[in-house]
Amino acid sequence: MDVTESVVSQSHQTKYHPSYNSPDGDITLLSDDGVNFRVHSFVLSRTSKFFREMMEIPQPEGDTNVDPLPMGESSAVIKAMLDIIYPGDNDPKLPSLTYEFLRRLLSAADRFDMSRVNHYVRLLIPTDKFSDRALEYYALACAYGWVEEAHDQSVNTLNLRLLSPKYETILTSLDSASLYRLFKLREQLKSRIVRVAQDLEADEVEGMWECDCEDGELEAPEWKVLASYVSEKFDDCANGNFLRTPEFWDDERLHKLWKFECRHCNRPWLKKENLQRIFMERLDSALAEARGNR
């Protein structure tokens, strides 16, 4: 339910959120958009170090000041925090799962030292709702110290074209170290697969040649063309999935690789399927290693 619909005016000056207007509440929180939350200090103290320390500050004798406490947050964020920390039979439902809202919610939880809110969001994000939002997940994980999640999602971002304008806002929100790790992973994977062509040029790969009649090597320029083409494609498809497609191997730039024949038996030295298999084995191995290197 939208916050503006759920707010009930108690007077012309004051409006309380209907879910948090307890008659026995002894503290009132005030949102930036003018919504009051009358809640219980013992709940806040139990779940927030910030409020616990605030409640321990001695008050002047006879002080009856009951002014609302400005929270510096929207009513949507405050209600989400309260829904998470207040005991209840049902799991809280957040009003939004956008990156912007979750970042604001986690920032508020961090400011008020509400670890339960951080824990709840951390458990929520791995659900199917974020299966196609790897960069958002990565950014939140980096910002709030979720080390394992940050690593896993960095690998998942290989499926994204990070230089697309739609990712600019999230990328610019990352700290320099997190941004560096993201692009370093891409460069490492690309370099490792490009090296396959270099190993082929040096004849250091077994199980590829179709003919054993004589020792033969393809001319170096052909392997350099292959290495250059692989590197170029990685810039557009960082997960290497282009190597799994016939279109890549049928490209005219690679035609000469399939035309070299043995002078004795006239069989091709190299089969397209063998070369694709070797690259795929290296790619799958590199991806598995990346996922395992926590």
| pLDDT value at residue 261 | 72
Report whether pLDDT(208) > 70: no
* Contact predicate 146/140, CB 8 Å: yes
Report whether pLDDT(244) > 80: yes
Residue-wise pLDDT tens digits, 80-122: 999 999 988 678 889 999 999 999 999 999 999 999 999 999 9
| pLDDT value at residue 10 | 42
| pLDDT value at residue 183 | 95
What gap in Å lies between CA 40 and CA 21, rounded to an integer?
10
Least confident of 71-85, 99-113, 191-205, 243-257: 191-205
What gap in Å lies between CA 215 and CA 104, rounded to an integer?
65
Model confidence, pTM: 0.81
Q: Which fold has domain 16-176?
A: Potassium Channel Kv1.1; Chain A (3.30.710)
Least confident of 123-132, 203-212, 224-233, 256-265: 203-212
Across 8-12, 129-133, 159-163, 256-260, the highest mean pLDDT is recorded for: 159-163
Residue-wise pLDDT tens digits, 9-66: 444 467 999 999 999 999 999 999 999 999 999 999 999 999 999 988 887 665 555 7
* Strand partners for 41: none
Residue 215 binned pLDDT confidence (cut-offs 50, 70, 90): low
Q: DSSP alpha helices (H): ranges in the chain?
A: 3-6, 41-47, 49-55, 75-85, 99-111, 115-124, 134-143, 147-156, 168-173, 176-201, 220-236, 246-249, 272-292
| pLDDT value at residue 198 | 79
Give the β-pairing of 27-30 and 69-70.
Answer: parallel
* Contact predicate 33/75, CB 8 Å: yes
Least confident of 58-62, 96-100, 151-155, 192-196: 58-62
Report whether pLDDT(3) > 70: no
Least confident of 59-68, 72-81, 266-275: 59-68
Residues 6+ apart with CB under 8 A from 137: 125, 130, 149, 153, 156
| pLDDT value at residue 79 | 97
Going from N- to C-terminal start, the domains of the chain cover 16-176, 184-292
* Contact predicate 31/45, CB 8 Å: no
